[in-house]
Amino acid sequence: MKTVKITLLALLAFVLLVGCAEQKPKNVIYLIGDGMGFGAVSSLLLSEDGETGFEMAPVIGLNETCSANNYVTDSPAGGTALATGTRTCNGFLGVGPDSVQLESILKKAQKMGKKTGIVVNTTLTEATPGAFYAGVTSRKESYKIAEQFTESGVDVAIGAGLSAFINRPDSVDMTAVLIEKGYDVYLDWKSVLNTESKKFVGILDMGDVHRRNKSRNTVASAADGAEVCLAAKLAASDGNMDSTRFSEPTEYLHKACEKALSVLDKDAPNGFFLMIESAIIDGYGHNNDSEGMIEEMKEFDQTLKTLIAYVNKHPNTLLVVTADHETGGTGVTYKSHAINQPDGLQLNFSTKGHTGTVVPVFAYGAGAEKFSGIFQNRELPGIIENLIK
């Protein structure tokens, strides 16, 4: 009887230990919806009959989005707080109010031996991804941000924005710099989808990464001077420059996330850190575009569900979803909102700019419980760091 008791106790201790160990995430996915406040989230919840990815979240929190010098943050300062844990002045990216470079959670994850990735549906040098690897006092210095990207050490990056890499005041071909550093650099979607490379950068046409960018250039003329950059020359010699190699932009973000995950979780004994930005929610907020916002949130949900499916299959993964700020003062007001009216849900907007209202946080997987509560934006990277170190 005594032996049975001891065995049971040992079993209980084992179960508790395993249970505790499962709380420590090995992998982190950080999904940022630019400008995705409660109005944007409401637009999805009210227009979607089925269960959305937001409703699958076991843990929900609130996030205050002020910058160091304003209740209303811009994207560089908002991204910097979410990436580095420091609130900085509006306009500053990856540096503190004293202009000194900050260390992001992505860089810290690299030091812990994790593989890292960036997937965005905008340029790779935009403010939100830039906050994870760059340091400048103006987001307009995209050529500097592109150079800092080449020094970032990320294993996988997929986005747009070739121009900052090749049309530069210093005339340096940054695709050649990346290739020299051991990256495969792809300028077309099919090459990204089909690659077996463990270290690559996809720099696509803007029309490939979002349906709002209607004009589709041929890959060769995706940016002025593309034909003279090394990545384009290599692609031409491989026969990869024809226009059939475009993406279906409404499918882009979740497929790019799946691709990055498939590369990052291979040969990663210490796990990975992947940041993703869904960037265009902000634009629909700025334009006060109700239909566009609702459509965009449906696409966001597709990406979110892709990531939740990954977390469910890999329970040692933490997924944190939040926004850098709210845009548009987006809401649902009383007028003309009979349910089932022919033109459906119409959002209302109170500004063409950003607002200082709190934004939601949704967390899934290992360590998610730490994201219940009310936070300042700068607290999130520290919570992630404490979970993974």
In the complex, which residues of this chain contact Zn ion (CB under 5 A)? 282
Q: How far is the CB of 132 from Zn ion (least distance, A)?
A: 18
Q: Which is nearer to Zn ion, 70 or 167 (CB)?
A: 70
Residue nearest to Zn ion as judged by C-beta position: 282
DSSP per-residue letters across 6-67:
HHHHHHHHHHHHHHHHHTS-SEEEEEEETT--HHHHHHHHHH--S--TGGG-SEEEEEE---
Here the tokens at position 389 are: 């170190």
Nearer Cβ to Zn ion (297/388): 297
The rounded distance, in Å, linking the Cα atoms of 210 and 204 is 11
Nearer to Zn ion by Cβ, of 282 and 301: the residue is: 282
Q: Which is nearer to Zn ion, 26 or 354 (CB)?
A: 354
Q: Which is nearer to Zn ion, 282 or 379 (CB)?
A: 282
Least separation in angstroms between CB 158 and Zn ion: 22
Residues near 209 by Cβ (< 8 Å), separated by ≥ 6?
120, 121, 122, 159, 160, 247, 249, 252, 253, 256
Nearer to Zn ion, 57 or 280 (CB): 280
DSSP 272-340: EEEEEEE-THHHHHHTT-HHHHHHHHHHHHHHHHHHHHHHHH-TTEEEEEEES-EETT-B--STT--TT
Give the separation between CA 23 and CA 370, rounded to whole angstroms: 10
- How big is the chain by its Cα radius of gyration, in Å? 21
- Lookup result for tokens 């992505």: 106
Choose between 208 and 282: whose C-beta lies nearer to Zn ion: 282
CA pair distance 320, 340, nearest whole angstrom: 33
Cβ partners under 8 Å of residue 237, min gap 6? none
Helix (H), strand (E) at residue 209: helix 206-209
Q: Choose between 265 and 282: whose C-beta lies nearer to Zn ion.
A: 282
Q: How far is CA 29 from the centre of its chain?
A: 8
